[in-house]
Amino acid sequence: MGLADMDLPGPPAVAAALERRARHRAYGYTVCDLAGRTLVADWYRARHGAEVDPDWVLLLPCGPRTALRVLLETVRPQAPVFFPTPEWGGFAQLCRAAGLPYRELPLLRGPGGYRLPPGPLPRPAGAVLLSNPHNPSGTVWPADAVRGLAASAAEGGALLVSDEVHGDLTHPDAAQPNAAQPDATRPGAAHPVAVTVADPAHRHLVVTLNSVGKTFNCSGIPSSFALVPDPALRTRFAEALAGYGLWEGGLLEQTVQQAALREGGPWLDALLAHLAAARTLLTDRLGPAVRSTPRASYLLWLDAAALGLPPANARRALLERCGLEASDGAEFGPGGRGSLRLNYALPGPVLATVLERLERL
């Protein structure tokens, strides 16, 4: 339960598309199918009520982590990079690998869960990184909070990069104020896409990164797409990617992306219902140990002390007592110490086993 990957079968449409493509035995260089950009824009309109210009879209044959690293190399901020804490540890890792200074901003936490820090950012700021929805807590940031963060970043000339790989996994009961409403017939909820909720005056300093990998459980074939409204930044980013041998397109990457976005909607709707039910089972069992009730993805953020576990080595204690592996909260920055992250994207029988083993606490 410590890995942020679903232990569930992926969409049949993706499997069928890969089988068909494998039978076409030309596996050479592949150019980008530009219709894929429109497909991404159509997906955002249908799922989130978000208007994305197809020209903003870059279809990448690499995962979001790689895309973010190259984007940081492209803008090469001289001032520190900021991101909230607790936060996905990859942000700090990528900044260190790129030789960029960074600072962590503590998230606010109240009875309703986490909130983004209000007001202006410390100066100077080179870039702001955000997991949206939040990893590790599954918080869906309200549209006005994302808009405010984009404005605060833009005031200092900083780029806001919103990592939205969990954005399509918003739970059916997670409707947010100030978010555009998607198709009312589907069971999910709108996700505030940073490049579309930001004020148009600040949009040139906002980038959204996303992927079908988390949504459709196909991260083993790395791909992603970037929404980059600013034409000059989009060109620079594409040129930097090419310098690493990464061009738009990709043979298997495009096969997976297009099958998932064209045909994966009904499968995703069923998945969201399963995830919401699994979340309820675990949050009802763990009660006050849940630091913030997740509204997206499949990650549960827990207070180790409230579970009766020693905060300093809670991960090891949970493994020894219950036979359950979790992510150590310290991996998510200073704000994560004394916490654990559990993945609940599991089949029903495995969830039942988890609940049984939690009785050992």
Dump pLDDT digits (tens) for 247-306. Answer: 999 999 999 999 999 999 999 999 999 999 999 999 999 999 999 999 999 999 999 999
What domains appear along the chain, each with residue ranges and CATH number? 13-263 (3.40.640.10), 265-358 (3.90.1150.10)
pLDDT at residue number 33? 96
pLDDT at residue number 61? 96
- For residue 102, pLDDT over 50 is answered with yes
Mean pLDDT score, 114-143: 94
Half-sphere exposure in the Cβ direction for 251 (13 Å, CA) = 12
**175 band by pLDDT with thresholds 50, 70 and 90:** low
Mean pLDDT score, 171-190: 54
**111 band by pLDDT with thresholds 50, 70 and 90:** confident
Distance CA 313, CA 32 (A): 48
Distance CA 260, CA 215 (A): 9
Mean pLDDT score, 116-142: 94
pLDDT at residue number 218? 96
pLDDT at residue number 119? 80
Tell me if the bond preceding 124 is cis, omega within 30° of 0. yes
Distance CA 331, CA 185 (A): 39
Given a contact cutoff of 8 angstroms between Cβ atoms, the answer to whether 265 and 186 are in contact is: yes
- For residue 182, pLDDT over 70 is answered with no
- For residue 185, pLDDT over 60 is answered with no
Number of H helices, E strands in the chain: 12, 12
pLDDT at residue number 110? 87
**174 band by pLDDT with thresholds 50, 70 and 90:** low
pLDDT averaged over every residue in the chain: 94
The pair of structure tokens assigned to 54 is 């197809």
The percentage of the chain sitting over the pLDDT mark of 70, rounded to a whole number, equals: 96
**189 band by pLDDT with thresholds 50, 70 and 90:** low
- For residue 92, pLDDT over 90 is answered with yes
- For residue 83, pLDDT over 60 is answered with yes
pLDDT at residue number 299? 97
**Interacting residues of 145 by C-beta distance below 8 A, sequence separation 6+:** 115, 116
Find residue 82's DSSP bridge partners: 103, 128
- For residue 118, pLDDT over 80 is answered with yes
Give per-residue pLDDT as tens, 37-48: 999 999 999 999
Mean pLDDT score, 169-173: 90
Q: What is the length of the chain?
A: 361
